[in-house]
A = this chain, B = another copy of it.
């Protein structure tokens, strides 16, 4: 039997140049680029398994993905080796060996997403790929107050875009911080797991509440009834960043308030 180990990567990307995470025949994707680089580095066709299949335009500083390494390259060398082969809009930030029982996606114990809003009459040129521009003023205090309704364990069926494949729609949200600095409103969402487009629907709903276009009660109604139609639109992808993923691995466990 051939010798191998299992490697878990931490991946940063600027999503603006990609048709999302997942490999596609005729489009540039992050999985596609990383698989090409890993396959070249280890000298054989290698599949990588991502923790989260982010959409086109979504950014990440803390995406994770694992693969089986049949080469003699030690785990800690992979960031250096792969970063010489990858395009500059994808960077491997870290790599570690993991036990056979850990799977990037199915062993995930919690995630942090960041959603960034630029609330100024005119869009930003420098940050157009990393923020969502909303010209109408939003009251961050109203957003913060409404965000508390998400805390705890709820049925998030209403907060799921068509195309989601989750078996259950029960999710726990441990934190949803809303802060403003000047024209920048930042949402940091911490949860055990997320449905397809869940953070973007939460963000779109909070924006509508901050702009007095929706009542905060729509959140309770949607959580009770599962009705997607009472919520705000799905906020655009470029405001979203996959920030951090937790595992049952030394130094990577979710903090106490995320269990």
What is the bound-complex CA distance between A14 and B121, given in angstroms? 18
Quick one: closest B residue to A12, CB to CB? B125
**Chain B hits for A241, CB < 8 A:** 126
Residues of chain B within 8 A (CB-CB) of A122 are 79-80, 83, 91-93
Q: How far is the CA of A91 from the CA of B92 in the complex (A)?
A: 32
State the CA gap A90–B14 with chains docked (Å): 19
User: Given A128-B88, A128-B89, do A83 and B12 touch, yes or no (CB 8 Å)?
Assistant: no
Chain B residues with CB under 8 Å of A88's CB are 123, 125, 128
Q: Are A13 and B126 CB-contacts (below 8 A) given A79-B121, A121-B79?
A: yes
Give every chain B residue within 8 A of A125 (Cβ-Cβ): 12-14, 88-91
Interface of chain A residues 44 through 95 with chain B (CB within 8 A): 59, 61, 79-80, 83, 88-93
> Whole-angstrom distance between the alpha carbons of A61 and B124 in the complex?
9
Give the contact-size bracket for chain A.
20 to 34
CB neighbours (8 Å) of A83 from chain B are: 122-123
Complex Cα spacing A83 to B80, Å = 41
Contacts of A14 in B (CB 8 A): 125-126, 128
Minimum CB distance partner of A91 in chain B: B125
The one of B12, B90, B91, B124 in contact with A91, judged by C-beta atoms closer than 8 angstroms, is B124
A156 contacts the other chain (CB 8 A): no
Bound complex: CA A128 to CA B89 (Å): 8
Given contacts A61-B126, A91-B124, 19 further A-B contacts (CB under 8 A): A12-B124, A12-B125, A13-B126, A14-B125, A14-B126, A14-B128, A59-B126, A79-B121, A80-B121, A88-B123, A88-B128, A89-B125, A90-B125, A91-B122, A91-B125, A92-B122, A93-B122, A126-B130, A126-B241
Q: Which residues from chain A sit less than 8 Å from chain B, CB to CB?
A: 12-14, 59, 61, 79-80, 83, 88-93, 121-126, 128, 130, 241
Top 3 A-B pairs, shortest CB-CB distance:
A91-B125, A12-B125, A14-B126
